[in-house]
A and B are shown apart, each in its own frame.
Chain A
Amino acid sequence: DIVMTQTPISLSVTPGQPASISCKSSQSLLHTSGKTFLYWYLQKPGQSPQLLIYEASKRFSGVPDRFSGSGSGTDFTLKISRVEAEDVGVYYCMQGIHLRTFGQGTKVEIK
């Protein structure tokens, strides 16, 4: 089974400042197709999760460009260039190369 490990577990950010979340997988998420099966989600308080980033670095429709994803193989990063109040919630990475596995989540709050 593929294990997804996120750091940090929680993050307190001043509005307008950047934030970064790391996600490491126990196996490479690079498929023979050339696609990387790594995804990022945000679950805002009281809401269902929403897709932010797919295939490691592609922003989903409607996602602000302050969100960016990077990485390859087993190491990935989600960056928020300038955190806004509406970005609070729990961020999850997920692998999709073999079944589906989520990271444990990173809680982002505003200072």
Chain B
Amino acid sequence: EVQLVESGGGLVQPGGSLKLSCAASGFTFGDRWMSWVRQAPGKGLEWVAYIKSDGSATDYVDSVKGRFTISRDNAKMSLYLQMSSLRAEDTAVYYCARDLTALDLWGQGTLVTVSS
């Protein structure tokens, strides 16, 4: 089955760190760019970062630059988002998505709550 499954969300204190994972199956993961998109409670969608198929290029929304790092392990068919210096405004459901510029496949999301 073609799917993406996120994990790693949870409650973290402001200033803390968390690493999200996204496990892919059913397609040639190593051929595809991937993105992270987040959605704060009751708010709209915000693109966070993307990574090229071989991991050689990445980019981020300004609000997370220097704090978040997107990476991948094609052998494990997995995508990651290392988040540090977390702030209350980073509280959101984080989705991974297959990125063909069109985000054509999405996971179910994992909730990150930043609170003391």
Contact = CB atoms under 8 A, between A and B. Distances in A.
Contacts, number: 55
A102 B61 contact: no
Contacts of A76: none
A61 to B, nearest CB: 8
Contacts of A92: 44-45
Interface residues of B, number: 20
Interface in A45-63: 48-51, 54-55, 60
Interface in A15-50: 37, 39, 41, 43, 48-50
Nearest to A61: B104
Given A48-B108, A49-B95, A101 B102 contact: no
B44 A94 contact: no
Contact of A54 (B46, B102, B106, B107): B102
A48 B47 contact: no
A37 to B, nearest CB: 6
Nearest to A31: B101
Interface in A72-111: 90, 92, 94, 96, 99-105
Contact of B95 (A48, A51, A99): A48
Interface of A: 1, 37, 39, 41, 43, 48-51, 54-55, 60, 90, 92, 94, 96, 99-105
Given A96-B101, A96-B102, 8 more contacts: A1-B62, A43-B45, A48-B107, A48-B109, A51-B103, A100-B35, A101-B47, A102-B45
21 contacts: A39-B101, A41-B45, A48-B95, A48-B108, A49-B45, A49-B106, A50-B106, A55-B102, A60-B102, A60-B104, A94-B45, A99-B47, A99-B59, A100-B35, A100-B37, A100-B99, A100-B103, A102-B45, A102-B47, A103-B44, A105-B45
